[in-house]
Structure 1
Amino acid sequence: MNRLLSTWLIAAVTLALFIWAVSLLHWDRPSPRQRASSPEKATCPQTLATSTTINDLQTIPQDIGPFAAVFKQTMRADEQRQAARQFHQQYFTPWTTTAPLFETTTVAEGVRQLAAQTWYGENRLIVEPTRMQHLLALADLERFPSMNQLGIAIKPSFIRILPTMRPFYETPDDVPFDHLQFAEIKPNEPVRLLHATTDGAWLYIETSYANGWVDPEAIRLVDESVRNRLANAPQLVVVRDYSSIQTTQSKILPQPKIGTLYPLVKEEADHWLVDVAVVGDDQHATLATARIAKNDARRHPLPLNSENVTLIGNELLKTDYGWGELYRNRDCSATTRDFFLAFGIWLPRNSYKQITSGPFVPLAGLSTSDKELRIREQGIPFRTLLHHKGHIMLYVGLHNSKPVILHTAWGLAYRPTNCPEQKFIIGRTIVSTLEAGKELSLSKGTTLDRLDGMLLLPVPDKEHAQRNQPSAAGVK
């Protein structure tokens, strides 16, 4: 009997310990009853939900073709020639000016102001002051700029606001908005080298539209003969993202995106032969002959006609959203810039600089119906930029008498009844009206509500004379 009782007691204690251990594993999880009784989780949609769609994505063709088919007003031949001259002048300014393009006196101060702010890292924790101090020491701003040399990009590379690939977010949940990410430089682009970090791991460069820190392996110094060849040869423009290109010795080169320019060497039946900047024996840039399919490149600039706006527009519709071209994707101003680049129309990089690059038509303060009327009367499809703070869009025409835009957007903030603010993620390039998502309870109103201006392109030549300002963390 005693042995039986002892066995029973041991079993009971073992079972109790097991139940207690299991309970410890689940101490931080609400019970099914608690989860069901939480009104927010039971009735509110999940933040960043993408299980539904907005009406515009179901009713507006996600195809530029129908809008291009009725595209009537193109540029006259003399307008396109003038735009091409302006483009050539702007594109090669890193090589043709004698001084830096951007206000170097304000670069250091801008970086210091950025460093004084609170930022969050990839671990969602505040960036430590010691890390910030280390970055500032690497940047060696007291000696900025320390060089003035001409170079060229030999592969795609990201331009960063500080010399690091680690992100800076405004809030712990601000992904994917890394505010150190500014732009992606394209192969063969002219650059000017202005500075280097103390360890030589980063170069500070400027292009015709952006300035910041890049991987030095992406840049090589370039001599006068190579510069003359690139500046004076007829050009091809890449019209499809991630096109295949390889040298005539079968060396595969980094895949270019829409808007990459290559000097034309020769035309073959199915391919173009082009000049591509590569690393020479002396570690400076030299030119190699490469082959790219005719389907992937065209003579630059493209005529602004129905066929070509359909080609470029539909290729851009394949693009996912990428702040500062993160992951080699695009944000709103990268999309508009690359669209017009193909047609030989130069634009600066971010939304504010683009809309202020010429005399724009003010729309702020007008009623929504008057804004639409102004766009219908004065806007020219595929030549007109529309803007509200932080966002730039391309006007492509009308759908049921409503203005329609091509744009790369992250999402729409909305607030369901009795719920906190949510985000409907778009996360790509779309065609929509200016009232996309109006069926939701939009927190900030529609794009049409916030629209403040439009700009007709190309901009008159005299308007391109404005002085560039340094890049800084902020709106694209």
Structure 2
Amino acid sequence: MYVFLFCLLFFSLCFKSVSWAYQKDEEEIKDIVSLSQNCFYYITGDYSDRILNVEAQKNMDNQYNKHYFSPWSQSGPSRGLDSLLWPFKWFPYQKTYGENRRLRLYGWYEKQKENAQIEHFGSQNKKAIVVEEANLRAFPSNEPVFFDFEKAGEGYPFDYGQNTTVKPGDPLFVSHLSEDGAWAFVDSHAVSGWIDTRRIAWITEDQIKMWREYPMGVVIKDNLPLLDNEKHFYAKAKIGTILPIVKHFPLQASYEVLIPVRGLDSNVFFKKIILSDCCITPKPLDFTKWNAAYIASQFMHEPYGWGGGNNRRDCSATTQDFFAVFGLWLPRNSKAQASQGISVDVKGLPLIEKEKTVLSQGKPFLTLAALPGHIMLYIGTYHDKPVFLHNLWGIRTLVEEKEGRLIIGRTVITSLEAGNELSSIVEESIIGNRVTHFVVLSD
């Protein structure tokens, strides 16, 4: 435990001295300059205080595991045919663009539909495991789908062909393959979509049983390379990646874990590798103030990645991965996350009343702020005002009656008044004015 705490302290100090450094943009909003971007700054009281008691966290972790491993309990696709059909019902009838900024013609969608083999939905029904970080796509293609590049908040990076990303070790249920065999339509624990078949391997019931017999560990260091003793690289693990722990080596401050590897026959085999206990810990990590600030600090300044594009996070991926470490399951998108827990309605209230509400009813690191298309994590206060961690693309602006965006494009800490000093921002566009409710994830 002391070694683990030392590692946490070491990484937090390194974080403080290194990752704060960034080039100041001439249009940087005041909050990012005036508010500390160090998550530890907002901890009050004893750092070792628990945010959730042991029993409550254990119960939530059990529920997390039910969600997470659910694809391996399925006998058929869990989300119905519409999980496959919806992109074909919607996008072909919109004006969409490709990566070359030219219109996606109807024929492109017809080609995707033919490759999707919709008539084969639910015909394969096999279980698989993710062997390396991968995208889940709306169509069996890596080719992007953009709306109008000239419209604020559209174009790159908003590829609507991107559903989410999955992590090494994630359980999958495979409905069927595309006609060309390059894609599998799958259910993950949170999202359905098309995955490159090179990123998965078939897994048997005996292998699932063996995988699940071990205690689970969760990765707590972001973008962790998974290497064997010969330094062969297998995959990259983000925070929230879950892997079985085979053995603990206290004197070496390390764990032996299993990683899944795709064999030449497309079946999985497991390889043992060693990871430092600064990189992985038994799941769930104790939900203390210190640990919450440490995990949150790992996300700071990460570039924005819509739907997990470029193996980055957007707002809801940030909150999902944060809570995964502590055994609290969240769905993937901001709207679904906003329906979790205990909802405190603040829609239509003045901003100052919203601030008072979250201060009185919210709990740092256990409360979300929800607004259309965005989600934020409440982490504490500064001068009696609430502050939030969130991965934010940009702040809405209005110049000569034309809507625009002041791009933030990364994970930051702000107040609810972020950007209110800008002459180009209109009152209804201030983040706090758009917050509709707060979500307390446990009482």
Establish whether TM, by shorter chain, passes 0.5. yes
Is the 1:101–1:208 Cα contact (8 Å) retained in structure 2? no
- Cα deviation for residue 419 of structure 1 reads 7.0
Which structure 2 segments of 5+ residues have no match? 1-23
Aligned residues: 410
Is the 1:73–1:380 Cα contact (8 Å) retained in structure 2? no
Q: Which piece of structure 1 moves more, 134-143 or 389-398? A: 134-143
Give CA-to-partner distance per residue, 1:36-66, whole Å, 9 cap, x none: xxxxxxxxxxxxx943211101111101001
- Cα deviation for residue 413 of structure 1 reads 1.8
Mapped partners of 2:43, 2:73: distance in 1: 37
- Cα deviation for residue 105 of structure 1 reads 4.2
Does residue 1:415 correspond to 2:401, yes or no? no
2:57 to 67, 70, 80: 80
Mapped partners of 1:401, 1:117: distance in 2: 46
Mapped partners of 1:213, 1:431: distance in 2: 34
Give the AA of the match of 1:161. A
Is the 1:266–1:274 Cα contact (8 Å) retained in structure 2? yes
1:178 to 159, 164, 169: 159
Mapped partners of 2:357, 2:372: distance in 1: 19
Mapped partners of 2:52, 2:355: distance in 1: 23
Which aligned pairs between 1:357-436 and structure 2 lie closer than 5 A? Answer: 357-416=340-399, 418=400, 420-436=402-418
- Partner SS, residue 295 of structure 1: coil
Give the AA of the match of 1:68. I
Give CA-to-partner distance per residue, 1:137-171, whole Å, 9 cap, x none: 11122332332111100111001111111111110
1:215 to 175, 192, 196: 196
Mapped partners of 2:181, 2:442: distance in 1: 40
1:151 to 128, 140, 156: 128
2:259 to 271, 276, 283: 276
Mapped partners of 2:278, 2:255: distance in 1: 10
Which aligned pairs between 1:261-272 and structure 2 lie closer than 5 A? Answer: 261-268=242-249, 269-272=252-255
Is the 1:93–1:208 Cα contact (8 Å) retained in structure 2? yes
Give CA-to-partner distance per residue, 1:226-272, whole Å, 9 cap, x none: 21122231111111111132224542221111000111111221321
- Distance change >3 Å, CA 105–CA 168, structure 1 → 2: closer
Give the match for residue 11 of structure 1. Answer: none
- Partner SS, residue 102 of structure 1: coil
Give the match for residue 40 of structure 2. Answer: 65
- Cα deviation for residue 445 of structure 1 reads 2.1
Give the match for residue 258 of structure 1. Answer: 239
Give the AA of the match of 1:252. F
* CA RMSD of superposed structures (Å): 1.8
Give the match for residue 190 of structure 1. Answer: 171
Give CA-to-partner distance per residue, 1:70-104, whole Å, 9 cap, x none: 47561111101101111111110001233322132
1:205 to 186, 201, 216: 186
Mapped partners of 1:281, 1:52: distance in 2: 52
TM-score when normalising by structure 1: 0.82
Mapped partners of 1:96, 1:68: distance in 2: 40
TM-score when normalising by structure 2: 0.88
Greater C-alpha Rg: 1
Which aligned pairs between 1:252-331 and structure 2 lie closer than 5 A? Answer: 252-268=233-249, 269-280=252-263, 282-331=265-314
**Identity between Structure 1 and Structure 2 (%):** 30
- Distance change >3 Å, CA 59–CA 324, structure 1 → 2: same
Mapped partners of 1:383, 1:207: distance in 2: 25
2:79 to 102, 106, 129: 102
Is the 1:345–1:458 Cα contact (8 Å) retained in structure 2? no
Bigger proportion of residues as strand: 2
Mapped partners of 2:80, 2:149: distance in 1: 32
Give the AA of the match of 1:201. A
Does residue 1:439 correspond to 2:414, yes or no? no
Does residue 1:51 correspond to 2:33, yes or no? no
Mapped partners of 2:44, 2:88: distance in 1: 47
- Partner SS, residue 255 of structure 1: strand
- Distance change >3 Å, CA 101–CA 135, structure 1 → 2: same
- Cα deviation for residue 292 of structure 1 reads 1.5
- Cα deviation for residue 281 of structure 1 reads 5.5
Is the 1:50–1:425 Cα contact (8 Å) retained in structure 2? no
- Distance change >3 Å, CA 239–CA 106, structure 1 → 2: closer
- Cα deviation for residue 109 of structure 1 reads 4.4
Q: Which piece of structure 1 moves more, 85-94 or 353-362? A: 353-362
Does residue 1:451 correspond to 2:426, yes or no? no
Mapped partners of 1:283, 1:129: distance in 2: 34
Give the match for residue 338 of structure 1. Answer: 321
Is the 2:355–2:385 Cα contact (8 Å) retained in structure 1? yes
Give the AA of the match of 1:114. F
Does residue 1:93 correspond to 2:74, yes or no? no
Give the AA of the match of 1:456. V
Give the match for residue 39 of structure 1. Answer: none
Give the AA of the match of 1:405. F
Is the 2:395–2:429 Cα contact (8 Å) retained in structure 1? no
